[in-house]
Amino acid sequence: MSHHSPATTQTATQSSDCPPPADEEPGSIPAEEPPHSLTQIANPVPSIHQPHTTRPALWAAVPDEQWQDWRWQLGHRLSSVDELAQVIHLTTEEIAGLTADDKFRVDITPYFASLIDPDDPHCPIRRQVIPLGRELEAFEGMQADSLAEDAHSPVPGLVHRYPDRVLMLITTQCASYCRYCTRSRIVGNPHQTFNRSHFEQQLAYLRGATQVRDVLLSGGDPLTVAPKTLETILSSLRAIEHIEIIRIGTRVPVFLPQRVTDEFCAMLRRYHPLWLNVHINHPKEITPELSAALAKLADSGVPLGNQSVLLAGINDSIHIQRELAHKLVRNRVRPYYLYQCDLVKGAGHFRTTVAKGIEIIEGLRGHTSGYAVPTYVVDAPGGGGKIPVMPQYLISQAPGRVVLRNYEGYITTYDEPLDYDAGMIEHLDRQAPRRAEPGQSGVHGLLAGERVAIKPEGFDSVHQRKGAAP
């Protein structure tokens, strides 16, 4: 295994092939907002008096005020072999990945790079952001748009798959880039991002879509969008009466906790009810800096959840998942989803079996607080949405009795009421609001008696053989 040696230089410079800072990228931080001057830093977290991550020698001389300025972090991201070799010992396979022609964008904030163990190729931080040569290997089942989002977009960037909620993609840019990214087909290209005219189209569609009560802002990472633009989008959404909640999916607190300033949190407060999901995959990502950012968000009244991806060699371990769940809950973040890795280009070597996910849930449910157990989901290839998968706890049933088992293997029975009257609720049920879900009542529609079967496409014609030989 050949290694590049980390440089011993104490200066931090931006090399010529380093991508431009986000304020030069379309749809990202626009030029009309100048970088913070040193005195404008709203809330430098953490100060040298608070616990914080130790910086590698490369950045030791960078003044704290700069290190804690998110614009400085974005402007000094690392992407090339030469830049990364200054902070970690790159392996042959990492060099092959970093120099591959057709690779998904690489960009790593100095803060996130400072969490990497320079000598350990298995470091979970490192494996998420530094490509390996094998990243571009195709695999069975690989799909470009594995969730079929493009097919469900009425206007650019808006995915309207369910009646009452939409996914609103407002940028293709991120603070750093995850090697397994589900949307790598659109993410990362600074020349193909969303702009004001797209936002206007998205908002116009939403004004007319009165059944939509929940908008999820995503991308790319919505927190890399220029602060003023993000606030304009939030206030425009809030002005639409039928939109009840706004959700934000972001990995910025993990890659760039410096972005979560007091000013930013004060802005969020103006647009409640607003929920936010972060994306933390490994307990090592929960640093004092991230904890401080999460505390600010929670103190601003933003309910926090975590979505993580099950990744081979990074977090496919019950012990790592339990430690992650406990650290999340301590930081007021509810573990929300644990995703099976999608069938996306670049993610082949990160994939686990579904059995591993079920085993992890088996090791969590009952072994820790229910609050700390995420829902394990497979995002259905082809666009079927999230499908929860879990161990089987219902062992058997007969009229009047079910047999259940708990996490310890204790098997018990539950006697069901013999006189249960499911019609008793009818009076109240009639008064509860109804929502039209044309064609999407699904399996519940079968239970409700709307129809007797769900047939695959072509089912009837296949069975009309009209006496023809098979």
Stretch that binds ligand SF4, among 154-162, 163-171, 214-222, 435-443 (CB under 6 A): 214-222
Answer for which of 4, 160, 251, 296 binds ligand SF4 (CB under 6 A) is: 251
Residue 408, C-beta contacts closer than 8 angstroms, at least 6 positions apart: 366
Q: How far apart are CA 11 and CA 28, in angstroms?
A: 28
Per CB under 6 A, does 310 bind ligand SF4?
no
Query: CB 107 → ligand SF4: shortest distance, Å?
Result: 9
Give the burial string for 61-85 (b: 16+ CB within 10 Å, else e).
ebeebbbbbbbbbbbbbbbeeebbb
Would residue 332 show up in a list of annotated catalytic residues for this protein? no
Q: What is the DSSP letter of 269?
A: H
Q: How far apart are CA 33 and CA 324, in angstroms?
A: 37
Would residue 379 show up in a list of annotated catalytic residues for this protein? yes
Would residue 164 show up in a list of annotated catalytic residues for this protein? no
Phi-psi region of 467 (alpha: psi -120 to 50; beta: other; left: phi over 0): left
Answer for which of 116, 187, 234, 378 binds ligand SF4 (CB under 6 A) is: 187
DSSP output for 157-179: TEE--SSSEEEEE--S--SS--T
Query: CB 212 → ligand SF4: shortest distance, Å?
Result: 22
Nearest CA-CA partner of 190 in 55, 415, 22: 22
Per CB under 6 A, does 170 bind ligand SF4?
no
Per CB under 6 A, does 87 bind ligand SF4?
no
Answer for which of 6, 19, 220, 346 binds ligand SF4 (CB under 6 A) is: 220
Q: Is 454 helix (H, G, I), strand (E, B) or coil?
A: coil
Answer for which of 76, 165, 183, 198 binds ligand SF4 (CB under 6 A) is: 183
Largest separation between any pair of C-alpha atoms in the chain = 85
Q: How far apart are CA 81 and CA 61, in angstroms?
A: 22
Closer residue to ligand SF4 in complex, CB, 183/322:
183
Is there a contact between 300 and 273 (Cβ–Cβ < 8 Å)? no
Closer residue to ligand SF4 in complex, CB, 281/287:
281
Check 103, 123, 178, 284 and give the catalytic one: 178
Stretch that binds ligand SF4, among 177-185, 193-201, 209-217, 284-292 (CB under 6 A): 177-185
Strands 375-380 and 401-405: unpaired
Q: Is 183 helix (H, G, I), strand (E, B) or coil?
A: coil
Residue 199 CB neighbour total at 10 angstroms: 20
Check 181, 296, 327, 351 and give the catalytic one: 181
Per CB under 6 A, does 341 bind ligand SF4?
no
Would residue 181 show up in a list of annotated catalytic residues for this protein? yes
Q: Is 372 helix (H, G, I), strand (E, B) or coil?
A: helix
Is there a contact between 219 and 171 (Cβ–Cβ < 8 Å)? yes
The interface with ligand SF4 within residues 434-453 (CB under 6 A) comprises none
Query: CB 177 → ligand SF4: shortest distance, Å?
Result: 4
Backbone angles phi, psi at 55, to 5 degrees: -85, 145
Closer residue to ligand SF4 in complex, CB, 219/257:
219
Closer residue to ligand SF4 in complex, CB, 131/220:
220
Per CB under 6 A, does 177 bind ligand SF4?
yes
**Structure tokens, 394:** 């219902």
Stretch that binds ligand SF4, among 52-60, 176-184, 230-238, 413-421 (CB under 6 A): 176-184
Would residue 162 show up in a list of annotated catalytic residues for this protein? yes
The interface with ligand SF4 within residues 108-167 (CB under 6 A) comprises none
Check 69, 221, 316, 342 and give the catalytic one: 342
Is there a contact between 94 and 121 (Cβ–Cβ < 8 Å)? yes
Check 183, 185, 247, 296 and give the catalytic one: 183
Strands 274-278 and 304-309: parallel
Stretch that binds ligand SF4, among 7-15, 219-227, 333-341, 424-432 (CB under 6 A): 219-227
Q: How many residues bind ligand SF4 (CB under 6 A)?
A: 10
**Structure tokens, 170:** 């407002």
Stretch that binds ligand SF4, among 118-126, 180-188, 376-384, 391-399 (CB under 6 A): 180-188
Q: How far apart are CA 402 and CA 417, in angstroms?
A: 11
Per CB under 6 A, does 103 bind ligand SF4?
no
Is there a contact between 172 and 27 (Cβ–Cβ < 8 Å)? yes
Would residue 17 show up in a list of annotated catalytic residues for this protein? no
Could you tell me the CA-to-CA distances from 325 to 77, 190, 283, 309, 322 in Å, in that order? 29, 34, 8, 13, 5
Check 64, 117, 162, 213 and give the catalytic one: 162
Would residue 196 show up in a list of annotated catalytic residues for this protein? no
Query: CB 248 → ligand SF4: shortest distance, Å?
Result: 12
Please give the residue ranges that form the binding site for ligand SF4 (CB under 6 A). 174, 177-178, 181, 183, 187, 219-221, 251
Which of the residues are catalytic? 161-162, 165, 174, 178, 181, 183, 342, 379, 386
